[in-house]
Amino acid sequence: MKLHSPTPRRSGMSILEVLIATAIFLMALAGLSQLMSLSTYLALETNYSNEATRLAQGKMNEFVSGIQSLQGQGETPFEEDPTWSWSAECQADGTVSNLSTVTVKITRKRTDGTTFEAELKQMVMDPSSKGAVESSSSSSSSGTTTPAGGN
């Protein structure tokens, strides 16, 4: 008579292996969530930096073109986006007349209560002191023109 051998054990994972795998997965998930949080913060800071640069350059162009006078300006919100504000400091250069150093400071209040700040500094000639260019267009033309491709 032949005895049947016990059924072979099924290969599978033990409960200990499942617990270790779950612990590894949860630690990786915690690390990934920290990375996502950090990347979101850095993306927001980059967006703030780009927007502040755009606004500061626009405001500096107003000083260069003469729209804004070369005088200091206190904290003023932007018309197009009141969450941003700007201030300007203008210092006359002592060696060159009509030359000023203009510093435009851009600020924004973050949701956590801190403030984002950016600054742009540039030397600007006083637009009101620039001389007008005289044009003498009293030249007369007394020639004949021929159409292209024919006489």
pLDDT for 119 equals 96
Least-confidence region, from 40-49, 56-65, 98-107, 121-130:
121-130
Most confident of 90-94, 105-109, 110-114: 105-109
pLDDT for 93 equals 82
Retrieve residue 20's tokens: 């270790």
Cα–Cα dist 92/125, whole Å: 10
Predicted confidence band of residue 75 (pLDDT cuts 50, 70, 90): very high
On whether the CB atoms of residues 52 and 115 are closer than 8 A, the answer is no
- Cα 76 to chain centroid distance, Å, stands at 19
Instruction: Indicate whether this model's pTM tops 0.85.
Output: no
Q: In what order do the strands lie in the sheet containing 84-92?
A: 73-77, 84-92, 99-109, 115-125
pLDDT for 124 equals 92
- Cα 85 to chain centroid distance, Å, stands at 15
